């Protein structure tokens, strides 16, 4: 299978809700705690984000989750978050072990938070551009 668009062979991408304050805070957390530079980011609402979703065989409209794409594999919801944490330095990396819980448990927790994230944490009217010195980490650039 060919590589995902916009990525080099060793790169993976996290597709996140660019309007969600919680999702943006998580991306900032990953960047400030030095997630591996092979992980790049793109908002679900962007054209590049939609193209990557289509590449993975996922719908590009009304999707309300986080996705992690690595070549011909993709993960959603709690699995995407846990697999992303595996690229973090110690001690954050240990949180990736949650992926070994049965998906119905971890996705239940994820879904409860996701369904209420705008009400609990707020949202931006438009895709929020994350500021900071993170050259090359976002596909919108």
Domain contains 126: no
Whether residue 139 lies inside any domain: the answer is: no
Report the range out of 24-28, 68-72, 103-107, 127-131 with the highest average pLDDT. Answer: 24-28
Does 7 map to a domain?
no
Q: Return the exposure string of 88-116: e unless at least 16 CB atoms fall within 10 Å of the residue's CB, then b.
A: beeebeeebeebeeeeeebbeebeeebee
Residue 95 lies in a domain: yes
Task: Provide the domain limits for residue 108.
Answer: 12-121
How many other CB atoms are found less than 10 A from the CB of residue 86?
A: 15
- 141 lies in some domain: no
What are the pLDDT digits (tens) for 70-93? 988 999 999 999 999 999 999 999
Instruction: Quote the pTM value.
Output: 0.92
């Amino acid at each position: 299978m060919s590589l995902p668009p916009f990525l080099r062979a060793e790169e993976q991408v996290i597709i996140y809700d660019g309007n969600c304050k919680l999702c943006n805070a998580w991306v900032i957390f990953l960047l400030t705690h030095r997630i591996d530079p092979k992980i790049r980011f793109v908002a679900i609402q962007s054209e590049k984000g939609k193209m990557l979703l289509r590449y993975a065989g996922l719908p590009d409209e009304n999707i309300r989750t986080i996705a992690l794409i690595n070549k011909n594999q993709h993960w959603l919801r709690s699995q995407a978050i846990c697999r992303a944490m595996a690229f973090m330095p110690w001690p954050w990396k240990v949180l990736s072990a949650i992926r070994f819980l049965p998906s119905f448990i971890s996705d239940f927790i994820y879904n409860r938070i996701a369904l209420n994230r705008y009400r609990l944490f707020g949202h931006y009217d438009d895709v929020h551009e994350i500021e900071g010195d993170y050259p090359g980490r976002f596909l919108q650039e």
